[in-house]
Structure 1
Amino acid sequence: MESTFPCIVRRLGDPPRQRGSVTGSSCPDIFELSDGNFAVIGTEATAALDPELPTDGRADYERIVVITRETLLRAKRDIPDA
């Protein structure tokens, strides 16, 4: 069966191991997809943060994930301007 999701093209920023995750217990990550969108691996926090969102903040099928500041800052150099 063919997947309806795009493929991962590349990781943005440094791998978790270079950010200090030697055990694999904390591996937030950001990936660019073949359709130009991004996929994020983070800690699921929908229940905790959903009440703080504006009323138009999230569709039922979407989830809130948290990544570390360091993960995003290290990915910044790889995020295209346009």
Structure 2
Amino acid sequence: MEISSTSAGTSPLRIVRRLGDSPRLRGSASGANCPDIFELSNGDFAVIGTDATAALDPHLPPDAARADHERIVVITRNTLIRAKGDIHDA
């Protein structure tokens, strides 16, 4: 899958790999419409989760902020825990 990069002059971003188990392996009967974490070709991460911006934005700590184009996304604890073994320091 390719998406356009937000950085000028760079090649399109690609999903390189899933971090953690697939939704089906985490217990989703259909394997669809579940939280997921992906590593991108530029080293960043993409997250599929529930948009909770409206509910959580007013509760951000004073030293946290988000741009208008950013969203607060919620993923399950299980999704993140099962992905942590795939996240490396380098």
Q: CA-atom RMSD, angstroms?
A: 1.8
Equivalent position amino acid for 2:14 in 1: C
Equivalent position amino acid for 2:27 in 1: G
Say whether the 8 Å CA contact 2:23–2:36 is kept in structure 1: yes
Given the superposition, is the C-alpha separation of residues 12 and 3 from structure 1 closer, same or farther in structure 2, using an over 3 Å criterion?
Answer: closer
Hey, what does 1:11 align to over in structure 2? 18
Higher relative contact order, chain-length normalized (CA < 8 Å, sep 6+) = 1
Given the superposition, is the C-alpha separation of residues 17 and 46 from structure 1 closer, same or farther in structure 2, using an over 3 Å criterion?
Answer: same
How far does residue 45 in structure 1 lie from its aligned partner after superposition? Answer: 0.3
Name the structure with the higher helix share: 1
Distance in 1 of aligned mates of 2:69 and 2:42: 20
Say whether the 8 Å CA contact 2:23–2:32 is kept in structure 1: no
Sequence identity of aligned pairs in percent? 72
Long gaps (5+) in structure 1: none
Aligned length: 81
1:80 matches 2:88: yes
Hey, what does 2:76 align to over in structure 1? 68
Q: How does 1:1-82 map to 2 (within 5 A)?
A: 3-5=3-5, 6-24=13-31, 26-55=33-62, 56-82=64-90
Q: Report SS of the residue matched to 1:22.
A: coil
Long gaps (5+) in structure 2: 6-12
Say whether the 8 Å CA contact 2:51–2:71 is kept in structure 1: yes
Distance in 2 of aligned mates of 1:23 and 1:10: 20
Distance in 2 of aligned mates of 1:16 and 1:27: 6
Given the superposition, is the C-alpha separation of residues 76 and 3 from structure 1 closer, same or farther in structure 2, using an over 3 Å criterion?
Answer: closer
Give TM-score, length-normalised by structure 1.
0.89
